[in-house]
Structure 1
């Protein structure tokens, strides 16, 4: 069971802490628990309710009217709003609610509906990525359980693989890319999306996945001689480790354009190696994949 401070509730719901307190006092929307030292905290149920209340209030329903609703009516209104709205924040919050409750059918239905409505690429960039950023707040504050983490990762991964499998295989004479995560890197969702983008843009792809030893990467490189190496570096690394690793990539794979994403790009030394390029988003990598 999650336990949230009012500041965490503010970050996850988008509602200012001051507003939450007003809603508590005037309308009894939620009622916080208190620790033995009288510090207020909120439960998963409180978080779900405040997100639902926020969604309805942002779409013109007065807070006094929402306060009169029982749980059945509130949920009914939310389902109606989610199915009709094209606003991305509504869809993001719907995914958060499904994640908190471990409701696989609801998560699947919501995500599939968005893909049908907006297309896979737009759904990932404008809805799924912001959703994962919001979930990152839960990870950082230890408010998400291993079960919830695996639940989300597996469902998102399944969607990614279905989308990738649905693309045509580029011809054998197409440019080639090897996609991988280095040792100690486990954050695969972003790399899977780059896999999708590369294949969709006519690149013949070889996906190696997580925690690939450098020696194994060299073996694959020698066999396929790829035009691109695509990887993501998210795990915390010292500056020395970043420099050593990028140096080894540049020196060992001189004939490939090496495309790197992830938090490391904020500290990497740009323009040091002519064959290493850093990208921040889908638009940038798509432009880079047109080179060569």
Structure 2
């Protein structure tokens, strides 16, 4: 099956660029900025070149260029102008657009080129906060609206995972750990969204703590094994889609009974599934965080 996205509806363009369909139509009719194509059954669609052009037009517009002015610029010069502005100003939106294009084209070379250019300006943790977190939010919305396929999502997240692992390994290979505190990072049963947890692991290691990363879908019972090896343990988990709303309360109760008997043991949690419970009523030894940033500040 061919998963490359090369035909876009006007709704797809709205989802991908954030520009309202109504505005796209005005730009198209008044300034001839886009030329929609038609299928054999006369259904309008836009090709990949139109999507890329719209991203560039939007970028110029957000950087002070009027649409009437952009419409007069030679089409081949628009990407050049965008690169010049990006080199002199805020890179975030340009980089996110480039990563989205890389995702849609399954273009690893564009991903690496964009990432390397960011490294010239930013440290890895800043790239994650400023670029990767907003990018992942957009990808989630694009997947939910069926604008991209599962193949697109897996392609880009595997590349992001690779960068987190490489940067974590760099720190671990150079660092001597003298901390008595051990963090154990894991995801609950059937939870597979691990990028956020992987970055938290990177930050924990960078601050000199012992960290054990267990990854996806770990049963509660198996966590007890860690307490035989370490005296002071902080379990840390990220609830993105699991446990489900109706099961979170029981999960927390079970964790409390099974793992928080030792006063030196704690449980730190974050993720959108926590919105379904009252975090002010968590058992002693448990802490909830609203974001990765707020958790990292506590380290």
| TM-score calculated relative to the size of structure 1 | 0.88
Tell me the secondary structure at the aligned position of residue 166 of structure 1: helix
| 1:47-86 equivalent positions in 2, closer than 5 A | 47-69=51-73, 72-86=76-90
Give the equivalent residue in structure 2 for 1:179: 185
Structure 2 CA distance, aligned partners of 1:19 and 1:173?
56
Structure 2 CA distance, aligned partners of 1:170 and 1:67?
58
The Cα shift of 1:4 comes to 4.4
Aligned residues: 289
**Bigger shift: residues 73-82 or 267-276:** 73-82
Structure 2 CA distance, aligned partners of 1:44 and 1:236?
36
1:252 matched to 2:258? The reply is yes
Unaligned stretches of 5+ residues in structure 2:
none
Distance change >3 Å, CA 274–CA 32, structure 1 → 2: farther
Residue 15 of structure 2 contacts residue 147 of structure 2 at CA under 8 Å; is this kept in 1?
no
**What's the RMSD between the two structures over aligned residues?**
2.5
| 1:148-187 equivalent positions in 2, closer than 5 A | 148-167=152-171, 168-187=174-193
1:98 matched to 2:140? The reply is no
Distance change >3 Å, CA 288–CA 268, structure 1 → 2: farther
Give the equivalent residue in structure 1 for 2:274: 265
Structure 2 CA distance, aligned partners of 1:184 and 1:2?
33
1:203 matched to 2:176? The reply is no
Residue 178 of structure 1 contacts residue 226 of structure 1 at CA under 8 Å; is this kept in 2?
no
Tell me the secondary structure at the aligned position of residue 212 of structure 1: coil
Structure 2 CA distance, aligned partners of 1:135 and 1:2?
17
Residue 243 of structure 2 contacts residue 251 of structure 2 at CA under 8 Å; is this kept in 1?
no
Tell me the secondary structure at the aligned position of residue 258 of structure 1: strand
Distance change >3 Å, CA 19–CA 143, structure 1 → 2: closer
